[in-house]
Structure 1
Amino acid sequence: MQNSRIDRLRRKMGFQNGYIVPPNGLAGGLSLWWDESINVDVAFSSENLIDTKVHGLSDGSYCRVSWIYGTPYREQKPAFWGWLGSQLCATNDPWLCGGDMNEFIWHFEKAGGVAASHSRPRHLLEFATKAELIDLGFSGPSFTWRGTRNTHFVQERIDRGLANAAWQTRWPDTTVLHCPVIGSDHWPIFISTTQKGKFGKRQFKFEPSWANDPECREVIERAWSSSLSGPWMSQWQKNLHTFRNHLTDWSKRKFKNNKIEIDSLVDQLNLMQHSWEENTENISRIKTKLNDLWRKEECYWQQRSRIKWLQNGDSNTSFFHQATIQRRRQNKIVRIKGENGYWEQSQKGVRRAF
């Protein structure tokens, strides 16, 4: 993908800043994006690594974050992991390493194909031990990549997050979520350091798209035709309240809630991807439906937002890209599969499952 296209996509997704490692020919290339809440200094970059120093502007926090793309070629792994170990050394500063390692650690992190040998080199484990990094664990599906090797369906956990003790002391609620696969052969990983707070009560807004529906005028006329007694201003306020309620009820019946439908489809996709081979057709169908709903959602927020949304990005649109809510990791169950087969992530849902 050309740099100009990447920049347009970055701005469209609400990130004001970015750093690109150009691809080597038609393959490879890395891109890192961040918003204006932090300063990011790139200390080193290559086709396999973006090593950064991050400063939080609101709380004055400082940390090191290293984004890794491990070589997928077996013959290159010893040299690559040896080089990475010399490039990324243990530090007393809070430090997070994340990305596509193209390497799993334990034999149970692979399913299908030729069984992993217990005597094989564990390059990632040796690197993590030397760098004093600890695996952050995960919630979600057990694997992060799936593909076919010699006609065998194979799944592996090769994407992960690692952190040192200083990071886990500073951000003890860090969680790693394996998100559903949509347009890749990898499960995206979502690393969060905080639990997302609740939004306040939503303010009523007249949506421009309502005016395009012929029924909208009828709903408004019915709402304002009510015969009321009392002072003129009191009647006006009551009619305004009725108008708002009628329009809201009509909108709920007329237009489906894309967010609810998206969340439902993502849950279905997540469940089916635990048995990928058995659900190939259904997975493809749900992906197509999700892409259509996301296009509708994007148009909806473009219509509501300022023109600058496409030009410069807007930090207020970040919620559009957040598919799930992170939960505290320590001493808590963050996800549980209910009797209906769906994953429960909310605190109420987890309690209800018991």
Structure 2
Amino acid sequence: MVERTLRVCRFESWRIVSPIGVAGGLVLAWKEGVKVQIVSEKEYYIAVTVKDLSNRLNWGLIGVYLNTNEQVRAGQFHELSATIQKMQNEMIVMGDFNTIASQEEKRGGGLKSWSSISDFNNFIDGSSLMDLGMVGRNFTWSNKRRGEEQILERLDRILVSNSWLHMFPTNTVTRMQENGSDHALLLLDTSLQVERSKRRFKFQQRWCGVEAVRGVITEAWNSYVEGSAMFVLAQKLKLCRHRLVQWQKTSKSNSKAEIEEILKKIEELRETGINGGIEVEELENMLENAYGREESYWKEKSRIKWLKEGDKNTKFVHQSFQSRVRRNKIWKLERNDRSFATSRADIALVAEDYFRDIFSSTNSTDPEGEFEDFLPKVSLAMNRRLLRPVSLDEVKRLCLVCTLKVHPVMMGSQQSSSITTGTLWLGMCFER
């Protein structure tokens, strides 16, 4: 039955792990364009190496269907960790893990065992994997019941290594609809076309120690701008931003490229037999400074607040940055007709329509009736007095009062401490 279905779907090759009774069972199928080699398999996983013949990329893949028993699953995590270490490839581990990574990944029923959650997270961290997340609803499994008896969990997911993520940086996981199953399908697309937008300018902390940046900012800030104080401030900030963008394009501000260039120069000197001296020492100092700037850059990108200055530029920092980028990206938005907008332009239109709707009035009735029970605080006589025009005599009396108030201040009287600066300035203006 399974093989016939695979042929109908035009798969050319496959590997099947038969179920034990009515439980378990795995199928891994592939079409032309990839070369798959089986590494190992058991009743709960299939481990293979994949070679993409079109771009010559290689990676490891493990498809899993773990046991529902917590003690058995803990042993399976241990065996999977050992298999991942043996393969030593860019790795992707995907399938039904039959457990969750936090209590928030379950709705309904009792709480999951904390030891089960801890075992799963230890497996993820110990294998240096990260969750790709998914686009769609938060849960992948349902007990198919309704009301208070309904239980939803996220049992299925795709975990990858950081090196695999660098190989396929533009990828997305989409949660498909359940059709005749209590599990939802997950579709991984590694050839996602990303629409590039204009990059937002952000001052980088690693520029602080660069003398050229100090000169660029000083020159822009000392430029003459005419206008109000706030206008001058805004224009100078804008000019600094534009000058820094120009400097970044023309200078070697990329610390990663600088590190590679310095390493290349050091290697060239060593090939000629020069392993010491002033030139090598200068290059090593430059290399240390470049490493410091690169480390500062990734710390700033990762936004891990508790990392202190001096911590190493670890994979954890890179993974934190990659996870934040994927978490903050809006992959799709649902329209009113239950369809989904996926392109950048369509997502922008859906968001614009949504906020226009919630900030637009839908009440066409006259609101004056709502204020009938409010008691007025300003009488009609008070309102007429407040709105009447100011006469010239009143202006002259005001000028005279202010001028008289300022004289004691100008003569050094002790009363000066009780008169505000605003009164002093106004009195001097009227006196003149």
Give the TM-score of the pair, scaled to structure 2: 0.47
Residue 70 of structure 2 is aligned with which of 74, 91, 94? 74
User: In the alignment, what sits opposite 2:163?
Assistant: 166
Q: Which amino acid aligns with 1:122?
A: S
Unaligned runs of 5+ in 1: 198-327
Query: Following TM superposition, where does structure 1 have runs of at least 4 consecutive aligned residues deviating by more than 6 angstroms?
Result: none
Q: After superposition, where does 1:74-223 map in structure 2 within 5 Å?
A: 74-89=70-85, 93-116=89-112, 121-147=117-143, 152-195=149-192
Kept in 2: contact 1:90–1:131 (CA 8 A): no
Give the number of the structure whose alpha-carbon radius of gyration is greater. 2
Give how far 1:346 is off.
3.5
Distance change in 2, residues 1:57/1:180 (3 Å): same
Instruction: State the Cα deviation string for residues 144-203 of structure 1 (Å, max 9, x = none).
Output: 001169x72110011000111110111001211111111100011111111269xxxxxx
Q: Secondary structure at the match of 1:122?
A: helix
Number of residue pairs aligned between Structure 1 and Structure 2: 220
Kept in 2: contact 1:139–1:176 (CA 8 A): yes
Kept in 2: contact 1:94–1:166 (CA 8 A): yes
User: In the alignment, what sits opposite 1:351?
Assistant: 348
Kept in 2: contact 1:53–1:65 (CA 8 A): yes
Instruction: State the Cα deviation string for residues 98-124 of structure 1 (Å, max 9, x = none).
Output: 111111101110000113455654222
Kept in 2: contact 1:43–1:51 (CA 8 A): yes
Q: Which amino acid aligns with 1:96?
A: I
Q: After superposition, where does 1:1-354 map in structure 2 within 5 Å?
A: 5-89=1-85, 93-116=89-112, 121-147=117-143, 152-195=149-192, 332-354=329-351
Distance change in 2, residues 1:185/1:148 (3 Å): closer
Give how far 1:76 is off.
1.9
Bigger proportion of residues as strand: 1
Q: Secondary structure at the match of 2:95?
A: strand
Q: Secondary structure at the match of 1:72?
A: coil
RMSD of aligned C-alpha atoms? 2.6
Counterparts of 1:335 and 1:196, CA distance in 2: 14
Counterparts of 1:105 and 1:153, CA distance in 2: 20
Counterparts of 2:124 and 2:341, CA distance in 1: 32
Distance change in 2, residues 1:152/1:137 (3 Å): same
Give how far 1:339 is off.
4.2
Counterparts of 1:117 and 1:8, CA distance in 2: 40
Kept in 2: contact 1:173–1:330 (CA 8 A): no
Distance change in 2, residues 1:121/1:143 (3 Å): closer
User: In the alignment, what sits opposite 2:214?
Assistant: none
Bigger proportion of residues as helix: 2
Distance change in 2, residues 1:119/1:9 (3 Å): closer
Counterparts of 2:97 and 2:57, CA distance in 1: 27
Considering Cα pairs closer than 8 Å and 6+ residues apart, tell me whether 1 or 2 has the greater RCO.
Answer: 1
Give how far 1:20 is off.
1.0
Give the TM-score of the pair, scaled to structure 1: 0.57
Q: Which amino acid aligns with 1:25?
A: G
Instruction: State the Cα deviation string for residues 209-231 of structure 1 (Å, max 9, x = none).
Output: xxxxxxxxxxxxxxxxxxxxxxx
Counterparts of 2:20 and 2:61, CA distance in 1: 24
